Amino acid sequence: MIIDTHCHLDDERYYDDLSEVITRAKEVGVERFIIPGADPKTLKRAVELSETYEEVYFSVGVHPYDAQSYDKAFLEPFMTHPKCIAVGECGLDYFRLPESKAEIVIEKELQKKVFVEQILWAKALKLPLIVHVRESSADCLDLLNEHAGEQGGVLHCYNADESLLKLADKNFYYGIGGVLTFKNAKKLINVYPKIPSDRLIIETDAPYLTPHPHRGKRNEPAYCDLVASKMVELSFIEKDALISMTTENAKRLFSHIS
């Protein structure tokens, strides 16, 4: 069994054929799906999907791009749902910042504030974090070291920054997806062998970051198989062993998954 630990099945691009998407995934061994809570506007749909499909779970959180819309009072009721298994997708993203220095400071401070609130929320609930890190490794590392608890989490779409490998000691895992198959992923390919094998998990980030040879098309959980194949190539172990290892890792992190 493969667990797609990060797929946005609540995205409108799956409105017309989600059942077929899930069927295709199952045909290649993907049998569990986690929808990260990135956009509060689609959270209710994520909950509905988790209630419709036994294999689907969700998390609750706010993506750093939507930090201004963070509303704990709105999000909190969803946390008691039996299919809610994590907090996030939360974190820091400095890729798109305002032009003026003053606005940059304000934006970064807002993202940090909202990120810390979600870290503390996860800590109180004893749920793992799903962390988004983009061009913000130093600040993310500092905040997680200062505030994260034993429950740990996953660095979604791990960006190959070796400084973040230190978080393995704090029960953090590393989400590996389609980027590993990209021709320009040399940095990630070089760093990949340094990731502890008991901290590797598979994700797609569907419908984004579609792996080779399907780049340019909509991503979907069935392509976990392509990610696994590339991981096998770099890990020098049998595919069944890698799948078993990453699935056990994911179950250990997301302990509420059956």
Q: Which residues sit in the known binding site for a divalent metal cation? A: 6, 8, 89, 132, 156, 205
Helix, strand, coil tally for the chain in percent (to 5):
50, 15, 30
Cβ-contact 219, 204 below 8 angstroms? yes
- Edge-first strand order for the sheet with 30-35 is 2-4, 30-35, 56-60, 84-93, 129-134, 153-156, 172-176, 200-202
Residue with token string 């998990």:
201
- Binding site membership: which residues? 6, 8, 89, 132, 156, 205
CA 72 to chain centre: 20
Backbone angles phi, psi at 215, to 5 degrees: -55, 140
Q: What are the distances in angstroms from CA 89 to CA 83, 126, 129, 201, 242?
A: 16, 16, 7, 16, 25
